[in-house]
Amino acid sequence: MLEKYFGPNDQKIENKLWIYFFAIVSINLIFKSCHIGYSSYWYDEIISLKSAYEDFGHIKHVSEWDNNPPFYYYCLSVWVKLFNDSEFCTRLLSAIFSSFVGGVLFIFVNKHFNKGTAIISSFLFLSSNFLFYYAHESRGYSLILLMVLVSTYIFFETKDKQTL
């Protein structure tokens, strides 16, 4: 009985599923951008912003003293130069990364289970208070989560191709 809902998916990625992907990313972004710029920067967000204002070659050297990898600071540096350094704009980058996590999660779960399970897991991701809170910080947490999920997806794709 539960095999229907949690069993492997016979229909892998199809064109209609990209509509779900973009809908999930859009809904995540709408919810996560609400009230994103109402609070002031935390101390660690100021450190991120200071690192983003360094020269591109100097960002890696500065991030050696930080626990987070420098790729987020490179992304934030480009983002701040394109837009501005207000609380809303800098935190929006993390909200965008977090929104794409919901979409990639949908694609990953749909491939390995089915569409119903993928929608439920994306909804649970959206409703997580912990992940919602960290999507509102100008830190690399959302980017790290996105990279972990993408690398897990690539790992399973590579593993599936090797077993065939």
Torsions phi, psi of 74, nearest 5? Answer: -65, -45
Query: Residues 136, 99: contact at Cβ < 8 Å?
Result: no
One-letter identity of residue 86: S
One-letter identity of residue 79: W
Q: How many CA atoms lie within 13 A of 158 on its CB side?
A: 6
Largest Cα span, the chain: 58
| DSSP code string of 88-100 | HHHHHHHHHHHHH
pLDDT tens over the chain, length 164 residues: 455 555 555 455 567 888 999 999 999 999 999 889 888 899 989 988 998 999 988 888 887 777 778 899 999 999 999 999 899 999 999 999 999 999 999 999 999 898 899 999 999 999 999 999 999 999 999 999 999 999 999 999 999 888 76
What pLDDT digit, counting tens, does each position of 1-49 carry?
455 555 555 455 567 888 999 999 999 999 999 889 888 899 989 988 9
